[in-house]
Amino acid sequence: MTFSIPGPFSMVLNTMPVRAEIYGRSGNGEVLSQEALDTAIGEISLWPGYSQTPLVELDGLAAATRVEKIFYKDESTRFGLGSFKALGGAYAVLRLLQDAVQAATGIRPDSGEFAAGAHRARTASMTVTCATDGNHGRSVAWGARAFGCACVIYVHAGVSQPRRAAIAAYGAEVREVQGTYDDAVRKADSDARVNGWHVVSDTSYEGYTEIPRNVMQGYGVIAQEVQGQLPPGMRPTHVFVQGGVGGLAASLCAWFWEADVASAPVFVVVEPDQADCLQRSARAGAPVVAPGKLDTIMAGLACGEVSLIAWQILSHGADAFMTVADEAAAATMRLLADGMKGDTPIVAGESAVAGLAGALLAAGDEKTREALKLNEHSVVLVIGTEGATDPELYRQIVGQSAEEVRQRTAVCSGAAQP
């Protein structure tokens, strides 16, 4: 079996000093830290339904790409929500409610107390809100229902009805905003100020950093799990991860940087070419807004403005910034669904595959391979951030349903895909 991932793609190497000093000396430790991650893991690991998501070895694809290993962290099963976002939005909701109860009583309850309804009389009058392209809002809504508060979620017109329905299923009110994701961010913020609601956003801006920091800290669970799942003695030499506002990328970048700056992997951030705020920022050396309608099938990455605290880490932690076209994402979805030379078929949504698409395009271009030091000894880590969160769109792109792919996975593995 052969494959071809369509271009074009672009890559910008970071011109700033990259990981020139130990993590934290430039203030990064105030954004994310292993100590705060330990707190997040302590809570999240106690939530009902918690289990590590699979780390899948794609040996057939690695051989075809001329690298030693490709590891795909499949977040499609995370807490039954279909994406990694459960780790961030719901955790930030929990921290917000913990702060409120502690301020009123002097006692900081854990997630189990909220889940049992112990503080519902106090939290039921609180409302959390955010803007979303789908997955983050679903996580916030899930967290609000699980821990006992109300929820209003803002979406832009491009968010599909299935994604809206998935949010509403957790009891949230869903409101549409004309414009882009960033317009929805601003509307959620303004309405929250008027109504006394609490914004639980995955992007930070001037004067708003604490809650996005908690969101990003929750994402660090992914890297912590990967560390324990890799074969003994093996570490990634390269990480290709989705951009968006930069929260997930910054969380993983910070984890590897803080763990050991000397052996930190080459870190590449990948975005849609129609929503390239991070690459534009890398070119400019400062946060830059991506203009236009941000029209991409990678809906979860359709973001035009960089999260400020994510940029603080990525501006000196990422080695390169790539963009890929929608055609590359679609082809990578189909590639994963089909399996490569014995690889397990994987259900991956549109936003799940940007990092892998970037890795495949980089590995297939000799100049880019050389620039990123990709070779036959490279161990590549990518994060499959979502499953088929829009089942109908998935079928249209892949040509088969997610269930059909899972059935073939069961045949290949002898057991149903989790």
On the question of pLDDT at 409 being above 80, the answer is: no
Amino acid of residue 56: V
Amino acid of residue 277: C
**Are 180 and 304 spatial neighbours (Cβ–Cβ below 8 Å)?**
yes
On the question of pLDDT at 2 being above 80, the answer is: no
Dist. CA 151–CA 142, nearest whole Å: 9
DSSP string, 236-284: -SEEEEE-TTSHHHHHHHHHHHHH-GGGPPEEEEEEETTS-HHHHHHHH
Q: Which residues of 322-346 are buried (b: 16+ CB within 10 A; e: fewer)?
A: bbbbbebbbbbbbbbbbbbeebbbb
Alpha carbon separation from 14 to 127, 234, 314, 316 (Å, rounded): 40, 26, 9, 8
List, for residues 350-372, the tens digit of each pLDDT value: 999 999 999 999 999 999 999 99
List, in sequence order, every beta strand (DSSP E) within 283-341. Answer: 320-324
List, for residues 294-315, the tens digit of each pLDDT value: 999 999 999 999 999 999 999 9
Mean pLDDT within 264-270 = 98
Dist. CA 101–CA 205, nearest whole Å: 26
- Tell how strand 238-242 and strand 266-272 pair up: parallel
Mean pLDDT across the chain: 94
On the question of pLDDT at 415 being above 70, the answer is: no
- Tell how strand 150-156 and strand 127-132 pair up: parallel
**Are 315 and 16 spatial neighbours (Cβ–Cβ below 8 Å)?**
yes
Long-range contacts of 13-16 (CB under 8 A, 24+ apart): 13/319, 13/320, 13/371, 14/282, 14/315, 14/316, 14/318, 14/319, 14/320, 14/321, 15/282, 15/285, 16/285, 16/315, 16/316
pLDDT over 70 percentage in the chain: 97
Residue with tokens 């698409």: 357
Dist. CA 166–CA 140, nearest whole Å: 12
List, for residues 91-111, the tens digit of each pLDDT value: 999 999 999 999 999 999 999
Mean pLDDT within 119-130 = 96
136 φ/ψ angles, rounded to the nearest 5 degrees: -65, -45
The two three-digit tokens of residue 36, written as one number? 């705060």
* Residue 408: partners with Cβ closer than 8 Å, 6 or more residues away: 339, 345
* Residue 392: partners with Cβ closer than 8 Å, 6 or more residues away: 160, 162
Q: Sign of torsion, CA 243 245 251 256? A: positive
Strand partners, 57: 71
List, for residues 223-240, the tens digit of each pLDDT value: 999 999 999 999 999 999
276 has catalytic annotation: no
Dist. CA 40–CA 224, nearest whole Å: 11
List, in sequence order, every beta strand (DSSP E) within 178-216. Answer: 198-199
Reduced to 3 states (helix: H, G, I; strand: E, B; else coil), residue 104 is helix
Which residue, among 297, 303, 299, 300, has the nearest Cα to 328 in the 3D structure?
Answer: 297
> Helix 402-413 and helix 391-398: axis angle, to 10°?
70
The two three-digit tokens of residue 180, written as one number? 């882009």
The predicted pLDDT at position 414 comes to 60
On the question of pLDDT at 418 being above 70, the answer is: no
The predicted pLDDT at position 416 comes to 42
149 φ/ψ angles, rounded to the nearest 5 degrees: -145, 175
Reduced to 3 states (helix: H, G, I; strand: E, B; else coil), residue 380 is strand
List, for residues 29-63, the tens digit of each pLDDT value: 889 999 999 999 999 999 989 999 999 999 999 99
Q: How far is CA 251 from the centre of its chain?
A: 9
On the question of pLDDT at 417 being above 50, the answer is: no
Stated pTM of the model? 0.93
Which residue, among 56, 139, 52, has the nearest Cα to 382 in the 3D structure?
Answer: 56
Q: Which of 133, 202, 273, 276 is catalytic?
A: 133
69 has catalytic annotation: no
What confidence category does residue 408 fall into, taking pLDDT thresholds of 50, 70 and 90? confident
User: Which domains are seen in the chain, by residue range?
Assistant: 9-84+213-413 (3.40.50.1100), 89-201 (3.40.50.1100)
Angle at 252 between CA 58 and CA 371, to 5 degrees: 65
The predicted pLDDT at position 25 comes to 78
Q: Which of 85, 326, 343, 390 is catalytic?
A: 85
